[in-house]
């Protein structure tokens, strides 16, 4: 089959590679200049099946209201911007925060992320991929209250047979020797079978493998519309621009995402395919709305700061060994080779161009609390990215109900953790095979209720 994939984030790239591996002729349309340039660019890199949970959860509406008045809140509401949550989105999100809905959506995400991690390891081993990664995830509790807040999750994980070790403060310091012993530490929980990895490096390696299998990547190609049917058509405009220099900055005022458009080389072009797969994240609603499908996607922005790790022969344990999460502030510090990345923030709405100084200040504070002096902050790369979030949490995958058009989108802040599994499920479905996991609640029918 000739298949068009729209979007070259980690979801689009993994999908293109799986389809090419199945023998399809794949063409990827991407408006930017490379793969994994937007939401996949500089997030935490954490693959954490045990702690993965829908953003819609019990107690979250109250957090959102308190965020309007608190300082350094974990959750912020920003009104305005092209990808802000609509009243309808907020209503569906509020309903999904109910405990029964949360449990169902968490189970759906857990099935997918477990399958995805297995597929990630299969692909990595079979292709002998070499990218920055490390095993282990340590969640730190600053106080007994932090421990108590995680108790229901740990009880559920225990019932599910998930392996983890509850640690006291001394054991946490032994697991991560670089931690600052002067910071208040009550204890923590260690997930030895979880991991962190460089999502963008992985996506670039997978792009190369997909191209070796015949996939074609058309960058600077802005898809204008889809004509559904037995042989769906994609209309696109080749429009060169320069975006790589503006992705991240060493200043507080530079924009995080943007591009300078030049005149298109030619007018719009149209090509026919046997199927079209939409992986365009926040660009998907505008493509699907003319086809009669309203996708309730909103942007939940997050921040990261990536810095080289200082090297001292007398202090070889500077920085984290793998992934470390501050439970109170919901900030992740990840080891990526010779660098570390501190990530956090949940800003509902707003734009990728605006910066919240309080969010960045919180990342620096948490980094200094746990690993003071470990980073070369003068060389720090700051980034803000928009996570394409459906109101209830899980992504939507499979046939769209529109002839010839398929979907793989809405993974929110878990795109990296779910990418390989989502791609394999979609490729199986498109080929008419069994998907590989139970896909209940992961199809478009869920959004039609």
User: What pLDDT does 358 receive?
Assistant: 77
Instruction: Tell me which residue of 34, 31, 20, 4 sits closest to 270, measured CA to CA.
Output: 4
User: What pLDDT does 72 receive?
Assistant: 47
User: What pLDDT does 80 receive?
Assistant: 53
pLDDT (mean) for 104-133: 96
CA distance 12 to 408: 8
Q: For the segment 29-76, what is each residue's pLDDT rounded down to a tens digit? A: 999 999 999 989 998 999 988 888 898 888 888 877 766 665 545 556
**pLDDT over threshold 80, residue 320:** yes
**pLDDT over threshold 80, residue 261:** no
Minimum mean pLDDT among 146-150, 226-230, 262-266, 271-275: which range? 262-266
Number of residues that make up the chain = 449
Q: How far apart are the first and last CA of the chain?
A: 32
Q: Choose between 160 and 342: higher pLDDT.
A: 342
**pLDDT over threshold 50, residue 250:** no
Alpha carbon distances (Å) from 16 to 208, 276, 280, 371, 384: 11, 11, 13, 39, 26
* Residue 276, both tokens: 């079209």
User: What pLDDT does 254 receive?
Assistant: 33
Q: Which residues contact 287 (CB under 8 A, 6 or more apart)?
A: 6, 223, 225, 226, 278, 280
Alpha carbon distances (Å) from 197 to 217, 249, 305, 338, 416: 24, 22, 15, 13, 9
Q: Choose between 265 and 88: higher pLDDT.
A: 88
Q: For the segment 163-219, what is each residue's pLDDT rounded down to a tens digit? A: 999 999 999 999 999 999 999 999 999 999 999 999 999 999 999 999 999 999 999
Q: For the segment 348-370, what is each residue's pLDDT rounded down to a tens digit? A: 776 666 666 778 899 999 999 99
What is the Cα 224 distance to its own chain's centre? Answer: 25
Q: Which residues contact 170 (CB under 8 A, 6 or more apart)?
A: none
Minimum mean pLDDT among 89-103, 213-227, 303-317: which range? 303-317
Q: For the segment 400-438, what is each residue's pLDDT rounded down to a tens digit? A: 999 999 999 999 989 999 999 999 999 999 999 999 999
Q: pTM, whole model, 2 decimals?
A: 0.91
């Amino acid at each position: 089959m000739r298949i068009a994939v729209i979007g070259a984030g980690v979801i689009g790239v993994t999908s293109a590679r799986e389809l090419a591996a199945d023998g399809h002729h794949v063409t990827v349309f991407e408006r930017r200049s490379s793969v994994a340039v937007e939401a996949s660019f500089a997030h935490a890199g954490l693959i954490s099946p045990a702690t993965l949970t829908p953003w819609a959860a019990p107690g979250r509406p109250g957090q959102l209201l308190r965020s309007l008045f608190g300082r350094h809140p974990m959750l912020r509401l920003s009104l305005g911007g092209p990808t802000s949550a609509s009243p309808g989105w907020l209503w569906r999100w509020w309903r999904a925060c109910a405990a029964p809905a949360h449990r169902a959506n968490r189970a759906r995400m857990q099935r997918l992320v477990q399958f995805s991690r297995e597929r990630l390891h299969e692909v990595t081993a079979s292709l002998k991929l070499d990218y920055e990664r490390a095993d282990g995830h340590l969640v730190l509790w600053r106080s007994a209250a932090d421990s108590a807040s995680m108790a229901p999750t740990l009880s559920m994980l225990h019932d599910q047979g998930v392996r983890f070790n509850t640690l006291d403060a001394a054991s946490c310091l032994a697991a991560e020797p670089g931690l600052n012993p002067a910071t208040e530490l009550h204890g923590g929980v260690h997930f030895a079978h979880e991991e962190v990895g460089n999502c963008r490096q992985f996506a670039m390696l997978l792009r190369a493998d997909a191209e070796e299998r015949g996939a074609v990547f058309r960058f600077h190609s802005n898809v204008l519309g889809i004509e559904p049917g037995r042989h769906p058509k994609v209309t696109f405009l080749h429009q060169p621009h320069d975006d790589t220099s503006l992705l991240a900055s060493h200043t507080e005022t530079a924009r995080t995402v943007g591009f300078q458009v030049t005149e298109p080389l030619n007018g719009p072009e149209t090509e026919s395919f046997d199927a079209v797969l939409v992986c365009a994240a926040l660009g998907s609603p505008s493509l699907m709305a003319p086809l009669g499908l309203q996708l309730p996607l909103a942007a939940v922005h997050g921040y990261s700061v990536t810095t080289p790790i200082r090297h001292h022969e007398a202090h070889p344990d500077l920085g984290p060994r793998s992934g470390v999460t501050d439970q109170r502030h919901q900030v992740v510090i990840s080891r990526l080779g010779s660098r570390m990345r501190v990530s956090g923030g949940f800003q509902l709405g707003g734009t990728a161009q605006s910066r919240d100084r309080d969010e960045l200040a919180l990342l620096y504070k948490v980094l200094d609390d746990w690993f003071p002096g470990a980073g070369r902050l003068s060389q720090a790369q700051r980034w803000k990215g928009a996570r394409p979030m459906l109101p209830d949490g899980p992504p939507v995958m499979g046939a769209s109900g529109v002839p010839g058009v398929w979907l793989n989108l809405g993974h929110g802040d878990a795109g990296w953790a779910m990418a390989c599994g989502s791609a394999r499920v979609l490729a199986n479905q498109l080929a008419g095979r069994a998907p590989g996991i139970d896909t209940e609640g992961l199809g478009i029918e869920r959004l039609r209720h």
